[in-house]
Amino acid sequence: MEQVPVEGGKEEKQLKWVPSAVNLDNHVIVPPEIDQSTFAGDADAGKKFVEDYISDLTKTKIDGSKQPLWDLHLLNVRTSEPDAEAVGVFRIHHSLGDGVSLTSLLLACTRQIADPDALPTIPTPRKKKEEGLLAGFWRAVVAVWTAAVLMWNTAVDVAAFLLTAIWVEDTKTPLKGPHGVEFLPRRFVWKSMSLDDFKLVKNAMNATINDVALGATQAGLSRYLNRKLGKRGSENDGEQNNSLPAGSIRLRSTLLVNVRPGPGIQAMADMMEKDTEVKWGNWIGFILLPFTIGIRDDPLDYVRQAKAVVDRKKRSLEALFTFSIAEFVLKLFGTRRSNALSHRIITRTTLCFTNLVGPLEEIGYYGHPLAFLAPSSFNQPHGLMINFQSCVDKMTVVLSVDESTIPDPHQLCDDIVHSLELIKNAVISSHGLSQS
């Protein structure tokens, strides 16, 4: 049994959950045997086949008669970067849950390779310990100041959110998709990097993995736009080869944030085995995250800028308020107006960015080891979506692009990966570290 959304209500179409019997034959799709010899001599041919197959899936819709709205495609194709003997492609309608819920549910179906009875371990943020004890008066002063900063930052961020809904829009660049881009097919490209490289930069700069991912993305987007907008088309790095207009590019990401305590893989496992309840559905808020686009002599500046912006956003309740605004509009005006508000915000920004934490140990799905995880989505009104997903000792970056907007997505992906390499090398050089 599963839950499916159905239409209900008298005045406007509403959604409610009802039990539904699931026929797996309607949801698991195995294409005809693929001749592996056609990929001989070309290490990237298998990966290109999978990319084309997934791109073709974005041209069709999930059969609405086969509830619930998901399917699984099993491709017996070897791929490189990362290496995998076969690929499973889940296509899941967003009405069934947000990315955190769906990823947690998938991981709840897996077990550790070293211990087949144990669920994967997902790292959780550590709370910073207060150094020393403040006297009662000064503790009160700090608490009042913190609350004031939180209220001010939240007010500024909510005002920016409302202004974006009314008229503020990002600069038109080669990364910004046209109106109606959500109805166009998508191309998905991905590449895996060493998670240790992210940790090396994180530890050296007193940052987070998310700061490093955002810094590398900011650097990669700058390199890409410098190549596209520059008259010289220089591939060299450094401010002397900067062809970007100084300070005139407004480029923001809608950063999707889970506004509830994550359902967690243990809660999902209990739900399946013991029929317990978890908060299901879509519980996400928006953060409008500005990207500073420019060519820097010091690659570490990208991480410093990303960290400064994210630290500022952490002292704000923007995500909770944007979620609450969307919920208020939904309850007061209905689904159509709520969707229109979200669509208006997203179309006035340039891209969507997410970063999901994965398992620490090698995991398997019914005895089959998983080489990598690469979540993404399509039918969103952005020409570009960037997802980072960690899994054991790898970090995979996934790009979902409209090819009419970004005709060379592999180049953009390589720019992000190369930017991380430059950042790592700069850390090693500046901190006198040894490269392992």
Residues annotated as catalytic (active site), given as ranges:
94
C-alpha 97/C-alpha 3 separation (Å) is 11
- Which candidate, 4, 113, 97, places its Cα nearest to that of 364? 113
Give the distance between the most distant pair of CA atoms in the chain: 75
Q: Crossing angle, helix 195-205 and helix 209-229, to 10 degrees?
A: 100
Per the CB < 8 A criterion, the answer to whether 341 and 329 are in contact is yes
Per the CB < 8 A criterion, the answer to whether 351 and 382 are in contact is yes
C-alpha 344/C-alpha 286 separation (Å) is 12
Q: Which DSSP string corresponds to 231-293?
A: SS-----SGGG--SPTT---EEEEEEEE-S---HHHHHHHHHHH------S--EEEEEEEE--
Which amino acid is located at 250 in the chain?
R
DSSP conformational letter for 13: -
- Which candidate, 58, 118, 86, places its Cα nearest to that of 360? 118
User: What token pair was written down for 87?
Assistant: 């690929």
CA dihedral 329, 331, 337, 340 (to 10 degrees): 60
> Which residue's entry shows tokens 């819920």?
101
